[in-house]
Amino acid sequence: RPHSRPRHPGVRTMLPLLLLLLPAAHGIAQLGYRPALSKDPPLGGLRTASTFVVEQPRCVFKDYGNAVIWLVVALEQAASAFNNSAGPGTPETAFQGFPDPVRAYMTLNATLGSYPCPKPDGEITVLRVGSETSCAQDETRPTCNGPLPGPGPYRVKFLALEGSVPVAETAWSVPIMLKEAKSLNSISTTDGGHSADMIAITTILSILFAILLAGLVATLFFWGSDSCGGSGTFSKPESVTVRRYNTHHVYDQPAARL
């Protein structure tokens, strides 16, 4: 057509870039899944002073086969402000800076193959958050799954990245509190501060000690009785045989005549 203009060559080169930015422009997919604590606590407990156990996101990211799935751990008050574009392994999301100045970190990355759907029989389907101690201070491992620094509360979510682009995420979990260890100064040593459990344990130990002592006394008594009985038993002495000898030179000779 006479009035048509030739297409600018830059349009062709911009098209792939626009396609790459399309997911970011439309926002990442919000999945109808909320991480939760495990329903079957594994060995070691569901929550400790520095760890907790959550269920794996099985059958959640099945439409994102090329994505890497990350676990985001945040302080409760900082969860809503987390930036999904913050890349894992950066100073902004490094575990070693948590909880200050880093308010949320990314860890436990896995591909979809690590979360098969459906779950094979007998396979472990939980993640223990905070289980790595060797890398807690190692700044060369910013995605360390290190021990949590306090009782919380914390919130977690799963975030799927294709390359560096976030494509899907779950909802945040409900607040998770860890067990808080009591300090030695908070434990009362006075008589009035003893708990009912401590009194019960003391009573049981006292009863067991009394039973043990009684058994020991009875054993010593029976041993003493056996020793006395053995010394008072007399066996019949062997009979002494006295052999009688005849003096032959007296009886064999005729009587002496007077």
Q: Where are the domains of the chain?
A: 26-180
**Predicted local confidence at residue 256, as pLDDT:** 44
Q: Give residues with Cβ within 8 angstroms of 242, minimum separation 6.
A: none
Could you please state the CATH topology (level 3) that the domain comprising 26-180 is classified under.
Immunoglobulin-like (2.60.40)
Mean pLDDT of all residues belonging to the chain: 80
Indicate the length of the chain as a whole number.
258
Q: b/e per residue, 106-127, with b = 16+ CB within 10 A?
A: bbbbbebeebeeeeeeeeeebb
Residue keyed to tokens 């020991």: 216
Residues 24-50, mean pLDDT to the nearest whole number: 84
What's the predicted TM-score (pTM) here?
A: 0.63
Judge residue 56's burial from the number of C-beta atoms within 10 Å of its C-beta, 0-12 exposed, 13-18 middle, 19 or more buried.
buried
Residues 150-164, mean pLDDT to the nearest whole number: 97
**Predicted local confidence at residue 219, as pLDDT:** 83
% of the chain exceeding 90 in pLDDT: 53
Bridge-based pairing state of the strands 165-169 and 29-30: parallel
Q: Is the pLDDT of residue 179 over 60?
A: yes
More confident residue, 202 or 176: 176
Measured torsion, CA atoms of residues 252, 255, 256, 258, in degrees rounded to the nearest 10: 180
% of the chain exceeding 70 in pLDDT: 69
Residues 96-112, mean pLDDT to the nearest whole number: 97
Q: 166 phi and psi, to 5 degrees?
A: -75, 130
Across 2-6, 102-106, 111-115, 212-216, least confident range: 2-6
**Around Cβ 204, how many Cβ atoms within 10 Å?**
10
